[in-house]
């Protein structure tokens, strides 16, 4: 298989109505496939989301009866593409919810799952408080999914701020990093582009980051600007702040080229942290 393919990010503004979101995102997925994309990535909670003060309420179902998974499995088979369901709300036996991503192959098979590790529990000021852990249970396993083009490191939204996760994914074989998100507008304006470019540059990886846009039910705002970034940190496509999709060529050979120019992944060294009192002696 060629090392060059097209990847796409779908960008939507989810409402609480799952059927309405499916109508929009399945249409955009088909449009992205028609534009030549072989890997199509959707945002965090693209199938349903509302906020209530500090709490996040995704549309959630048990995995076995989740309506979104078979819908996109059908699309993946029909279109002959790989689909990353950025994340879905998945209820567990103890009544909690996982923020879980799924990678579906062109046969319609779920070939990887990832539960978001880092919870967005922050106070941004101006009354903007978020407590993701109030409704969502964190995961504890990092995942590199295998694709025909190389390893795809899975992550979700707030994970983006934890560089060590992506370092581990790259060292475990990821040549691409997926960052599906519903990044807030306030933090997105300040940090979204910088952090995604940094994760690409640090690890010599492509970054594929689909993000929701617009005002969500409950008043929270998502930043949009879905991104596809190459291993040198160049932004190949930016989704702006409206509904749609972006497509860019991914040449996996660029990963080795970037890593050979700056082989930082091979230069990590162990070190000891010296306490301030010791350093002064």
For residues 252 and 2, the answer to whether their CB atoms sit within 8 Å is no
Residues labelled catalytic: 44, 116, 157
Residue 241 in tokens: 């702040």
Beta strands in the chain (DSSP E): 4-11, 39-41, 49-52, 55-58, 60-62, 82-91, 97-104, 110-115, 121-123, 129-131, 136-137, 144-147, 150-154, 174-178, 206-209, 213-215, 221-223, 227-229, 235-238, 244-251
Residue 137's φ and ψ, nearest 5 degrees, are -95, 130
Structure tokens at 261: 């120019």
- The Cβ of residue 135 has, within 10 Å, a number of other Cβ atoms equal to 18
CA 122, 171, 116 angle in degrees (round to 5)? 30
Q: Tokens standing for 214?
A: 């617009």
């Amino acid at each position: 298989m060629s090392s060059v393919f097209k990847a796409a990010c779908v960008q939507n503004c989810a409402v609480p109505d799952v059927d309405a979101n499916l109508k929009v995102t399945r249409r955009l997925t088909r449009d992205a496939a028609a534009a030549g994309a072989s890997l199509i990535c959707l945002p965090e909670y693209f199938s349903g989301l509302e906020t209530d003060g500090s709490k996040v309420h995704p549309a959630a179902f048990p995995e076995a009866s989740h309506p979104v998974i078979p819908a996109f499995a059908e699309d993946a088979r029909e279109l002959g593409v790989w689909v990353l369901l950025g994340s879905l709300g998945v209820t567990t036996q103890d009544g909690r919810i996982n923020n879980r991503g799924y990678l579906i192959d062109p046969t319609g098979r779920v070939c990887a799952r990832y539960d978001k590790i880092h919870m967005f529990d922050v106070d941004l000021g101006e009354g903007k408080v978020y407590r993701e852990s109030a409704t969502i249970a964190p995961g504890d396993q990092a995942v590199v999914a295998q694709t025909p083009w190389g390893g795809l490191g899975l992550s979700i939204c707030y994970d983006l701020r934890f560089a060590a996760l992506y370092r581990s994914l790259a060292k475990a074989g990821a040549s691409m990093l997926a960052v599906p998100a519903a990044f807030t507008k306030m933090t997105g304006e300040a940090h979204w582009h910088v952090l995604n470019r940094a994760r690409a540059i640090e690890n010599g990886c492509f970054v594929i980051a689909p993000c929701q846009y617009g005002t969500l039910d409950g008043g929270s705002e998502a930043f949009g600007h879905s991104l596809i970034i190459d291993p040198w940190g160049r932004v190949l496509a930016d989704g702006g702040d409206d509904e749609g999709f972006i497509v860019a060529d991914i040449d996996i050979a660029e990963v080795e080229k970037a890593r050979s120019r700056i082989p930082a992944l091979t230069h990590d060294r162990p070190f000891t942290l010296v306490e301030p009192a010791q350093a002064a002696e």
